[in-house]
Amino acid sequence: MESTRKELIQLLNNVEGHISGQELSGQLGISRTAVWKHMNELKKDGYEIEAVQRKGYKILSSPDKISENTLRWGLDTKWIGHELHHYDQVESTQEIVHQLAKQGKPHGTVVIADEQVKGKGRMSRNWDSPKGKGIWMSVLLRPNLPPVQAPQITLLAATVLARMIAERSALAPQIKWPNDLLINHKKVSGILTEMQAEQDTIQYIVLGMGMNVNQEDREIPADIKYKASSLKIESRQHWNIQQTVQHILRLFEETYERFEAHGFSSIKKDWEHFGYKIGEEVTISTMKKTWQATLVGIEPDGALRAKSKDGEEEKLYSAEIHWGEGGYHA
Ligand code: BTN
């Protein structure tokens, strides 16, 4: 039943115009009445389907509420999201992907949820993941890389999210080192990368991406309002989650393949293009000292490059950056 529905969506999606009930019944090996029943189920799922006499059926639009079907509909990727699991509610999509990784699921497996009740942020923080308001998604990756290069994947993911926003709106996303996405100085998205490694090889990476999409201003918790926002608040328009997720997956696959073929340099360029306060002066504190420096870019190992007034350049791995006006501390 489930797989017939998937096949039906694929068939509808693969034709330009309409496809007749007879053809669908032939291709799916089910009766025309069964085709008609499936169509009604799709409508209940929120698909808008046009049925024209003597021509057949055509999908006009997919529903806003995501499901495995709606996410697969029109997803023309080669490997990412071919194994895809959608849940209404989970504790954290990260944990589910860790389990799937241990079961041997393939590179590119995606888990996405409408709501997380124990969303995880970086540095053991919570990640607020309210129902239907954002993208709470984790991807299983099995890169053929040494563990030291794992941070490059996080930087890559940040450029993908920034590009997606820039391509779908007039907003100007920025990546705040190491991997927060800001719009108008406020965080709209964060990335959590967890790695399972053995000596010199990565066994797998769980790449978690959280994006505040359709929260209204009043839905952002009061204590973080000064530093957090959503795509809807910043763009003053509703975002279709299904299309936004598909856009991320498409760009991710394309960027990841570019990274595999040509290495980190093109990713570095993208990152620096979107980099927050790159070329600007900030105050930096480490355990030993506090100083002012201009941010100049990133290193292939994910370090931030900062140049002090005397021209000396340092690589920063875990400094506290005082981002100055409009920004907040890392
Ligand atoms: C950060 O602290 O900025 C990273 C936030 C990462 C949140 C995402 S939402 C999907 C995935 N599941 C989780 O529990 N966390 C990540």
pLDDT given at position 1: 60
Confirm or deny that 116 is annotated as ligand binding.
yes
For residue 137, the ligand 1 atom closest to its alpha carbon is 10
Taken in order 186, 131, 235, 59, the sign of the CA dihedral is positive
C-alpha 313 to ligand 1 mean position (Å): 32
| Residue listed under structure tokens 């856009």 | 247
pLDDT at 236: 95
pTM for this model (two decimals):
0.84
Question: SS3 breakdown of the chain: % helix, strand, coil, rounded to 5?
Answer: 35, 30, 35
Q: For ligand 1, say whether the CB of 151 is within 6 Å of any of its atoms.
A: no
Taking only the tens place, the pLDDT of each residue in 300-309 is: 888 999 999 9
Q: Residue 113 CA: which ligand 1 atom is closest?
A: 10
How far is 270 from 246, CA to CA, in rounded Å? 20
Q: Is the pLDDT of residue 327 over 70?
A: no
Question: What are 270-295's pLDDT values in tens digits?
Answer: 999 999 999 999 999 988 889 999 99
Pairing of strands 201-212, 320-322: unpaired
The response to whether residue 92 sits with its C-beta less than 6 Å from ligand 1 reads: yes
Residue appearing with tokens 């997720």: 245
For the chain, give the mean pLDDT: 93
Q: Which class does domain 281-322 fall in?
A: mainly beta
Does the domain made of 68-274 have the CATH classification 3.40.50.11860?
A: no
Query: Which CATH code for domain 2-61?
Result: 1.10.10.10
- Residue 112 pairs in a beta bridge with 86, 137
Domain boundaries, the chain: 2-61, 68-274, 281-322
Residue 330's pLDDT is 45
**With a 6 A CB cut-off, is 204 part of the ligand 1 pocket?**
no
